[in-house]
Amino acid sequence: MFNSTYEPLFTSIVSRSINVVLCIVLLVYVLCNASLGRWVAIKKGYSSIAWFWICFFFGLFGLIALCAAPNKSLERTLREIRAAVFENANITSGREEEILRKNQIIRKTWICHECETINPESASFCKGCGKYR
Ligand SMILES: [Zn+2]
């Protein structure tokens, strides 16, 4: 099929193109890892630039580390919910209260007979209407 004198040149072109293809594949893979790391970092409340480069250089190990790290953004939301529950103690629906109770966001509370405000266990007066417990 090929003339024997051209064969080494052909082989060298083929092997060079394989190398180029491999480099492109590797670069795409590394960029995918880094982009995925960046996205997860944003979702979890970490620095997107830092985690882009960590996942760029450490690949799968960086991603595993990021997945194992605590979700700061979720923790912040939980803190805000806890604060809101304890400060206002105004929960709109029974379902919400049930979820909060199950997840131990509100623990010991008492409900006012007058206005149905949920008060912390330590309060002797209702935060909603001021009635005595
Ligand atoms: Zn009350």
Amino acid letter for position 84? A
Is the pTM above the cut of 0.85?
Answer: no
Can you give the pLDDT at residue 103? Answer: 61
Q: Is 117 within 8 Å of 106 (Cβ atoms)?
A: no
Q: Which two tokens stand for residue 16?
A: 């060079």
Neighbours of ion ligand 1 (CB under 5 A): 112, 114-115, 117, 126, 128-129, 131
Q: Which of 96, 81, 89 is nearest to 111 (CA)?
A: 89
Q: Is 54 within 8 Å of 62 (Cβ atoms)?
A: yes
pLDDT at 20 over 60: yes
Mean pLDDT of 71-95: 70
8 alpha carbon to ligand 1 midpoint, in Å? 91
Cα angle 98-100-105, degrees, rounded to a multiple of 5: 145
Can you give the pLDDT at residue 52? Answer: 97
111 alpha carbon to ligand 1 midpoint, in Å? 8
pLDDT at 24 over 80: yes
133 alpha carbon to ligand 1 midpoint, in Å? 9
